[in-house]
Amino acid sequence: MDAAPAYHAIFVGLTTGVLAFSFLLVTFRFWVCPGGEVSQAVRHAADLGSLWSAGIGTALLAMATLTGLMTRPLPALFNSPITKNKMLLTALALVCWAGFVAVRAKTGEGVWTRRGLPGHSAWVLALAGFLYMITVNSIGGDLAGIPSGYEQFARAAGYRTRWALYYPTFFNVLLLVAGHAVLIGALLHRRARKRAG
């Protein structure tokens, strides 16, 4: 019996839980306690928790991607528009979470108190990464014949995950390029401000 689907399911479950936890911490740190309303210890713990869980979750997402490529023969995966869209959205999720880790690691804990580009881009990257994870999980649930609990949560919040099944692959390539452009723009802006200041 081939163990790749079981490993993939394990990595996907771990990835989803860790990145959902990171997104909750990012949202808490950015929106609930940007200033001094909450104790410094809580703010610091939320910041470190979001950074470490995003870093670990990004590594787990890479492992989930690799094990996902082993679940079926590669020609079957690359000839299906649905799985190609799933792979591209996974790449977008990886870009977003890696971008969040890079922005937060580069900017430091002060990213949450500055409401400029670094602070907002950190939260937007985490939000986009989380939404891409919901969409990827939804597609995976459809492919496996198992409905996703995240999809039901997203539907209740007004977010439709089925769009990724029907958009052409080139549209997802454009989304991937846009994700890279946002990440590179945020890092270049940070570098320019550092040189100017």
| Distance separating alpha carbons of residues 135 and 108, to the nearest angstrom | 30
| Distance separating alpha carbons of residues 108 and 120, to the nearest angstrom | 14
List the chain domain ranges. 4-196
| Mean pLDDT rounded to a whole number for the chain | 81
pLDDT more than 70, % of the chain? 81
pLDDT at 154 over 70: no
pLDDT of residue 58: 95
pLDDT of residue 1: 44
pLDDT of residue 85: 77
pLDDT of residue 150: 66
Average pLDDT over residues 161-181: 66
176 — pLDDT class (breaks 50, 70, 90): low
Highest mean predicted confidence (pLDDT) among 97-101, 108-112, 168-172: 97-101
Give the orientation angle of helix 4-27 with respect to helix 117-144, to 10 degrees.
Answer: 150
Check: CB of residue 158 under 8 Å from CB of residue 33: no
Query: Between 196 and 44, whose confidence is greater?
Result: 44
Check: CB of residue 141 under 8 Å from CB of residue 162: no
